[in-house]
Structure 1
Amino acid sequence: MISKSQKNDSQVTKTHNLIQEAFLSLANEKSFEDITVKDISKRASVNRSTFYAHFEDKYNLLDSFITDKFMTIVSSRIHSYTKLTEETLRNLILIMCDYHQSIGSNYTRLYKSATVLNC
């Protein structure tokens, strides 16, 4: 895995994003279960060893994608210095709803596959 000191490196970030984009592209074509690390690496034009330098496996990649998308929505609506109040909790619940709606409509096949995996 990539060390924390390397996370800010632009090349590492670029490769990380390429892998995620390849994964999303494949997720629009076939189910999560049918996507392999080989497929992702080939689509991203990276070696499998490069994939494994960024992610443990495709499940870790899915988790990273979900976390990144969710945190993007959260950080756009709640600042890090915001105190935890009833309104903040209400906003977090609304963010969760928006997140699920966004993922469900923009990444339909992936959303359905991931939902099946979590049941």
Structure 2
Amino acid sequence: MAITDEEVFALAKLFARSSTLDIAINSAAHEAEVIERLATECGLFSTLRFPFHLPRTDGSLQRDWDFSHRDLEHGGSFLASLAYPDVVELEFVAHVEPWPNGFDPSAFQEST
């Protein structure tokens, strides 16, 4: 399956550092193949395969990005887990409410 703009957006937020891993993921995000996408009651779970082996990291193999959203009273989170050599598992979670319909990147603001 083709990757969606929402999945690319989540990757950009989760991998926004200047590490080799982050740069590799963002530079090839549009080339990633979605090998599984499951809707959940509160969001989405996607498994992405990249066309090359991802660079190893000394840091965490998991990332999260908490956000507020204009259509979600309680906000949500993007989560990612790396499964070497070439897989990123993404999870989209809305806290309390169902995941909003339609993707608008301007609706997301990083929670502090």
- Highest relative contact order (Cα 8 Å, sep 6+), 1 or 2? 1
In terms of fraction of residues, the more strand-rich structure is 2
Larger helix fraction of residues:
1
Q: Quick check: which has more Rg, 1 or 2? A: 1
Q: Same fold (TM over 0.5)?
A: no
Q: TM-score, normalised by structure 1?
A: 0.27
